[in-house]
C-alpha cells in the first residue's frame, strides 16, 4: 500500500514541536506492515539542504504566483517554491514572531500539490491514500473534492495534532486558492465568514484521527471543541483517536550519545551524573533531598506555564527544584525569568530551543512536569517514561491516556508510572508537586518502581502503527466496494 503523508515539518530536518517527531517516526513503523510512506514537505531551506541528491520530478512554472519544482529523494517529496518557502528560521513565523502574511497561500500551495500527486500526475508514483496533518495539509481533501471530477480519488486521513491551530484566513485570499466559488459555503470552506482550512479538512476527509483517544473524545465536547465540536460530532463515525508513539532509537537511554552517562532499567545509578551535569548547566546547587523537576516546552497558554510562572514562591515552597527549557510567549518568558531570579537555589531557566539539552534533562532529572490545560497527546511525558524521568501531568488528553497515577491502588498493585492532577489550577499543580516531593523523599522504593515501570511501558510506535495500517486498509476496502 502506498501512502503519501503531507506535513509542514519533519524530524530531523525541521522541527518546532511534536508534529515533526510523529511525521518523522511513523513511516519506519509502518514499513514492516507493508505500508510504503512517502512524505511531502514544503521546501524550507533546512529541508532542501538535508535532501540527498534531489531529482526534479515535476515543474510548475506558475504555482501560486511563482515557479515551483517538485523534488524527490529517498522517501521525500519536497515542494520547492522559493517565493513561498525560501525563508530561514521558524517555518510559520517571521523574525518578529508574527505569522507570515502569506501562510494561506503557502499551505494551499502544498495541499494543491498533494492533490495533484493524488490524481496520479507524477510519472511512476500514484499513492493509494493521502494522510494529511493539521491545518497545513487540511485543504488536500477539499482540492480532491472540488477539482477532482473525473480523476482518481484516493481516500484521505486527516490527523488533528492540535485543534487550537485551525488555519483561519480572511476572504481576501480566496481568488488565489484556485477553488470554484461554490466552495465558499457553509458545506465547504466558509468558517464564521472567513476561510477555514481545518474546517474544510474535517468536512471532506474520509477519516479523521487525533493523537489520543481521550482527546478524540474531548474535541467533540463544547468545552474543548474550540468551535469545531459540532462539526466533529456530525462526523462522529469517521473520528477516532490513535495515541502517538516515540522513536525508540532516537530516545534510548542505553545508547543516547547526548547523555554523559547511559543506563538501562536494571541500573539507574548513572542518572546521578547526568543530574550533576544539569545542575552545572543550569547553575543550580546540588541538593539530593529535593527532586529535580524539568520542563521542556513551548511557552504557551496550552502548556499551563502561567500556573508555574505566576506561583513561583508556592512552587519553590513544595520542596521541588525546577529546571525549565522553553521558548515562546514573551510575557511567559519574562514571568518565568522573574520567578527564577527570586528563587535562584530552586528554579533555573534556559530560554531557547535545544534538542541535546532536552535529552540531558530527560536523562538526569527526577521528574518532568507537564501541566497542560489541554494536550492532544504530548510527547515529553513519553520520553520521560522511557528515561526513568517520572511524569507529573495534568489529567487531560494524551497525558490522561499515557500515565498511570500513583494513587494508593496503583502503588499497591505496583503499576504506577507517574503523578496526575485533575483540576488544572495552581492548587492542583501544587498538590501534585507536594505528592511528588513526598514520594521522592519518603518512599524511595515506590519512586524507583515508578521509574522502572515507566521504562518498561510500551511507548513505541508498533501498536499505534498497526492501528493506522488497519484504518488505511479499511478505507481502501470501502473505496474498492464503491
- For ligand ADP, the binding residues (CB under 6 A) are 17-19, 21, 296-298, 325-327, 353-355, 358, 377-380
- Does 26 bind ligand GLC (CB under 6 A)? Our answer is no
Maximal CA-CA distance, the chain: 70
Pairwise CA distance, residues 373 & 455, whole Å:
26
Tell me how many degrees the CA angle 425-429-432 measures, rounded to the nearest 5: 140
- Does 17 bind ligand GLC (CB under 6 A)? Our answer is yes
Pairing of strands 129-133, 2-6: parallel
- Does 406 bind ligand GLC (CB under 6 A)? Our answer is no
Query: CB 342: neighbour CB atoms within 10 A?
Result: 12
- Does 24 bind ligand GLC (CB under 6 A)? Our answer is no
CA-nearest of 171, 175, 204 to 187 is: 204
- Does 371 bind ligand GLC (CB under 6 A)? Our answer is no
- Does 161 bind ligand GLC (CB under 6 A)? Our answer is yes
Cell 481502501 -> residue: 476
Q: Which one of ligand ADP, ligand GLC, none interacts with residue 353, CB within 5 to 8 A by kind?
A: ligand ADP
* Residue with smaller CB distance to ligand ADP, 5 or 297: 297
- Does 376 bind ligand GLC (CB under 6 A)? Our answer is yes
* Overall residue count recorded for the chain in this entry: 482
Strand ranges for 352-424 from DSSP E:
367-370, 390-394, 419-421
Pairing of strands 156-160, 36-42: unpaired
Contact at 8 Å (CB) between 110 and 136? yes
* Residue with smaller CB distance to ligand GLC, 211 or 308: 211
- Does 270 bind ligand GLC (CB under 6 A)? Our answer is no
Q: Which one of ligand GLC, ligand ADP, none interacts with residue 358, CB within 5 to 8 A by kind?
A: ligand ADP
- Does 22 bind ligand GLC (CB under 6 A)? Our answer is yes
Bridge partner list, 210:
160, 241
Q: Which one of ligand ADP, ligand GLC, none interacts with residue 38, CB within 5 to 8 A by kind?
A: none
Q: What are phi and psi of 469, to 5 degrees?
A: -60, -40
Least distance from ligand GLC to the Cβ atom of residue 58, Å:
30
* Residue with smaller CB distance to ligand ADP, 250 or 411: 250
Nearest residue to the partner ligand GLC, using Cβ: 18
* Residue with smaller CB distance to ligand ADP, 17 or 148: 17
Pairwise CA distance, residues 391 & 413, whole Å:
19
Pairing of strands 156-160, 129-133: parallel
Q: Which one of ligand ADP, ligand GLC, none interacts with residue 211, CB within 5 to 8 A by kind?
A: ligand GLC
The site for ligand GLC (CB under 6 A) is made up of 17-19, 22, 161-162, 211, 244, 375-379, 398
Amino acid at each position: 500500500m502506498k501512502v503519501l503523508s503531507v506535513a509542514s515539518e519533519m524530524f530531523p530536518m525541521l522541527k518546532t514541536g511534536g508534529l515533526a517527531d510523529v511525521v518523522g517516526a511513523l513511516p519506519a513503523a509502518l514499513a514492516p506492515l507493508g505500508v510504503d510512506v512517502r512524505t511531502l514537505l514544503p521546501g524550507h531551506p533546512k529541508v532542501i539542504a538535508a535532501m540527498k541528491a534531489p531529482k526534479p520530478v515535476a515543474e510548475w512554472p506558475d504555482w501560486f504566483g511563482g515557479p515551483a519544482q517538485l523534488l524527490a529523494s529517498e522517501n521525500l517529496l519536497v515542494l520547492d517554491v522559493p517565493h513561498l518557502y525560501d525563508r530561514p528560521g521558524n517555518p510559520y513565523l517571521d523574525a518578529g514572531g508574527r505569522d507570515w502574511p502569506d501562510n494561506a497561500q503557502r499551505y494551499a500551495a502544498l495541499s494543491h500539490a498533494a492533490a495533484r500527486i493524488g490524481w496520479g500526475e507524477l510519472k511512476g508514483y500514484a499513492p493509494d491514500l493521502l494522510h494529511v496533518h493539521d491545518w497545513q495539509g487540511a485543504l488536500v481533501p477539499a482540492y480532491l473534492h472540488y477539482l477532482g471530477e473525473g480523476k482518481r480519488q484516493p481516500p484521505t486521513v486527516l490527523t488533528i495534532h492540535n485543534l487550537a491551530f485551525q488555519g483561519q484566513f480572511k476572504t481576501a485570499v480566496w481568488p488565489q486558492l484556485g477553488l470554484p466559488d461554490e466552495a465558499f459555503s457553509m458545506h465547504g470552506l466558509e468558517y464564521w465568514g472567513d476561510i477555514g482550512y481545518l474546517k474544510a479538512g474535517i468536512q471532506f476527509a474520509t477519516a479523521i484521527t487525533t493523537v489520543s483517544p481521550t482527546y478524540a473524545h474531548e474535541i467533540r465536547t463544547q468545552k474543548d471543541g474550540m468551535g469545531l465540536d459540532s462539526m466533529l460530532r456530525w462526523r462522529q463515525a469517521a473520528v477516532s483517536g490513535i495515541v502517538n508513539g516515540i522513536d525508540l532509537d532516537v530516545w534510548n537511554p542505553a545508547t543516547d550519545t547526548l547523555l554523559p552517562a547511559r543506563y538501562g532499567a536494571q541500573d539507574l545509578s548513572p542518572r546521578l551524573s547526568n543530574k550533576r551535569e544539569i545542575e552545572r548547566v543550569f547553575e543550580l546547587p546540588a541538593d539530593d533531598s529535593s527532586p529535580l523537576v524539568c520542563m521542556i516546552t513551548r511557552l504557551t497558554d496550552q502548556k499551563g506555564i502561567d500556573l508555574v510562572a505566576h506561583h513561583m514562591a508556592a512552587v519553590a515552597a513544595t520542596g521541588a527544584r525546577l529546571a525549565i527549557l522553553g521558548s515562546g510567549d514573551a510575557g511567559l518568558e519574562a514571568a518565568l525569568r522573574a520567578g527564577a531570579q527570586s528563587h535562584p537555589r530552586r528554579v533555573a531557566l534556559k530560554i531557547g530551543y535545544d534538542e541535546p539539552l532536552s535529552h540531558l534533562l530527560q536523562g538526569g532529572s527526577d521528574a518532568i512536569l507537564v501541566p497542560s490545560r489541554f494536550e492532544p497527546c504530548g510527547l515529553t511525558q513519553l520520553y520521560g517514561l522511557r528515561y526513568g524521568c517520572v511524569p507529573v501531568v495534568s489529567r487531560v488528553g494524551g497525558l490522561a491516556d499515557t500515565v498511570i497515577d500513583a494513587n494508593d491502588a496503583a502503588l499497591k498493585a505496583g503499576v504506577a508510572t507517574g503523578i496526575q492532577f485533575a483540576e488544572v489550577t495552581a492548587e492542583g499543580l501544587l498538590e501534585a508537586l507536594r505528592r511528588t516531593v513526598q514520594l521522592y523523599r519518603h518512599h524511595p522504593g515506590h519512586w524507583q518502581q515508578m521509574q522502572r515501570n515507566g521504562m518498561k511501558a510500551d511507548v513505541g510506535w508498533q501498536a499505534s502503527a498497526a492501528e493506522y495500517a488497519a484504518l488505511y486498509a479499511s478505507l481502501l476496502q470501502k473505496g474498492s466496494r464503491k
